[in-house]
Amino acid sequence: MEKLYKIENNYAEILLPKDIYPLVSVKKALANFMEKIYIKMDSNKDKIIIQIVLQEDKEDLEKIIGEFYNELLRESLRYNIAMETKNLRELIVGRALYTTCIDLEEGQEKSESTAENEEEYNLDEIAVNWFDKYTNKEE
């Protein structure tokens, strides 16, 4: 098995397979460590190469690399979930904004579905302060 990283003094080099870790996930994971380390990224045809130098010698570079791998896994999972749910999120946001972005010109009639929705949802009933509606007025 190929070694995942090399450490020399306060310098380390990490090799990541491109087919496992999306570049955006690597960048997001590295962004969380910018206060502790200096980072240089490079790549070849099948690896992402990350060069790290400690900003202060008192930090434990091996511990930082371990934390980086954990963060990289978290960011990769977030990325995968975001890609899997992208269409659903777009549908929900689109549906939520659909009725708010359509302006009818003066004199234009509303469609049946819009009229039905307005009957179902009366703004005067919805936009009421909860405390005004449900608290005892005698108190």
Any idea where the domains of the chain sit in the sequence? 5-86
Residue that wins the pLDDT comparison between 86 and 2: 86
Q: State the DSSP string of 94-108.
A: HHHHHTTS-PPPTTP
pLDDT tens readout for residues 70-93: 999 999 999 999 999 999 999 988
Q: Quickly state the pLDDT bin for 127 (edges 50, 70, 90).
A: confident
As to burial, measured by CB atoms within 10 angstroms (0-12 exposed, 13-18 middle, 19+ buried), residue 102 is exposed
Q: Quickly state the pLDDT bin for 94 (edges 50, 70, 90).
A: confident
DSSP run (H or E) holding 118: helix 112-120
The pLDDT of residue 139 is above 70: no
The overall pTM is greater than 0.85: no
CA distance 88 to 33: 32
Any idea which architecture 5-86 has in CATH?
A: 2-Layer Sandwich (3.30)
Q: Quickly state the pLDDT bin for 103 (edges 50, 70, 90).
A: low
